[in-house]
Amino acid sequence: MADVSYQPNVYRKHGGNELVVASSGTVTVESGGTIAIESGGAITNAGTLTNSGSIANTGAVTNSSAGSVRETVTTKSTAQTLDGYGATLIGSTSAGALAYKLKKPAAAGCHRYLTVRKSTAGGLTIASATGSDACKFNYSKSKITAKTALQGETLHLFAPSSTTWTIVGYSTAAGTYTCT
């Protein structure tokens, strides 16, 4: 007689319409395997997503600033106001300076990445947004400036509070940034 107390950690619910991965269970996709979500399908994540590989996305990625991910990747080719979270490719086809405004952080603990996709000789300026979105850089300054905006240069900002950004890194010494 079978042991009825035994329950595997991965099983199909009665009726066959739901696959359950219980605590300590795992679904493994081996090398070359694929999980395909067709048009109209969705993934809902209320837990933690850990990625140690690569994600290839050909559609839109949208995350609300109210969510815990706070990572959107957008491309901004003209001077405009940037959200207080996420990663943005910035750049201009003009020869002038790159000038953007940055909103206050969505929450303390947010990271913000700005990567220059198009090099210009005019430099890069990131000023605080105005009104209720105003923020400070390095606790008391209103603007970050780089003398040159090199293609591929990335600026990494961290929010120690809900109103302040601090520079925690940049990709090359040539992109030295100052707060004024």
Would you state the structure tokens that stand for residue 174, as one six-digit string? 């040539």
Separation CA 142–CA 83 (nearest Å): 16
97 to 147, 150, 172: CA distances (angstroms): 9, 11, 19
The SS3 assignment for 70 reads coil
10-residue mean pLDDT profile of the chain (180 residues): values are 70 87 87 82 73 63 45 59 80 67 89 76 84 94 82 85 91 76
**Looking at residue 65, what is its pLDDT?**
45
> Please, are residues 89 and 126 in contact by the beta-carbon 8 Å criterion?
no
Query: Domain-by-domain residue ranges, the chain?
Result: 10-179
**Looking at residue 68, what is its pLDDT?**
39
**Looking at residue 100, what is its pLDDT?**
86
